[in-house]
Amino acid sequence: MHIVSRPELATPTELLIQVRDLQQGAWPSYTFPAPGSGEPNHDPALHPLSMLLVDDDIVVAALDILSKEITHHGRRYRAAGLSTVVTRKAARGRGHGRTLITAARTAMADAGFDIGLFTCDRPLQAFYESGGWQPLPATVLIGGTPEEPFPSDQPGFDKVTMADFFSVRSRQHRPSFHQARIELYPGLIDKLW
């Protein structure tokens, strides 16, 4: 098994077809763009990077890393987060997803991001913790845009904010991220990454 890491639109079509099938199976109510259409799944302004765990040309697990600068408590941070994390049903329970989310965390740190931030459904918290991510209790990510905010604590959501602090500066200011409302504002395509 090996990891393929490419910008979303540079992912080979034969792999992207498999990724879209996995994503459509995981989120059937969402319509994903057709592979090879040149239409991105994520907002290009978020620099989507696809990471795929591949075994003999079969995509076993996939995720996307999205990134942007954020301002929190008057400080600017290079932030990245996980999106569309999925593992092939027949391969679940074997550690493949954990391998990929751990590799993504390492890739973010190696790329010089200050912080990794994302939300997950509460039942998935332990899974992300097993990959080195840490929960930020009572922390809310505010997605969408300033004009159309999309907070992770809205009615009907049961989300947990997960994080890792990569830079010295972000680790020094880590307490400011606890029990906070963080203005992520990734836009209207990726309301929350």
Summary count for the chain: helices (H), strands (E): 4, 10
Residue 28 belongs to some domain of the structure:
yes
Domain extent at residue 39: 2-183
Residue 188 belongs to some domain of the structure:
no
Domains contained in the chain, number: 1
Residue 71 belongs to some domain of the structure:
yes
pTM: 0.94
CATH number of the domain at 170, please. Answer: 3.40.630.30
Residue 46 belongs to some domain of the structure:
yes
For 119-152, the pLDDT digits (tens) are 999 999 999 999 999 999 899 999 999 999 999 9
Residue 189 belongs to some domain of the structure:
no
Q: What's the full length of the chain, in residues?
A: 193
Residue 190 belongs to some domain of the structure:
no
Residue 192 belongs to some domain of the structure:
no
Helix (H) or strand (E) holding 106: helix 96-110
For 65-87, the pLDDT digits (tens) are 999 999 999 999 999 999 999 99
Q: How far is the C-alpha of 64 from the C-alpha of 107, rounded, in Å?
A: 12
**Contact status, residue 93 vs residue 130, Cβ threshold 8 Å:** no
Residue 173 belongs to some domain of the structure:
yes
**Contact status, residue 8 vs residue 48, Cβ threshold 8 Å:** yes
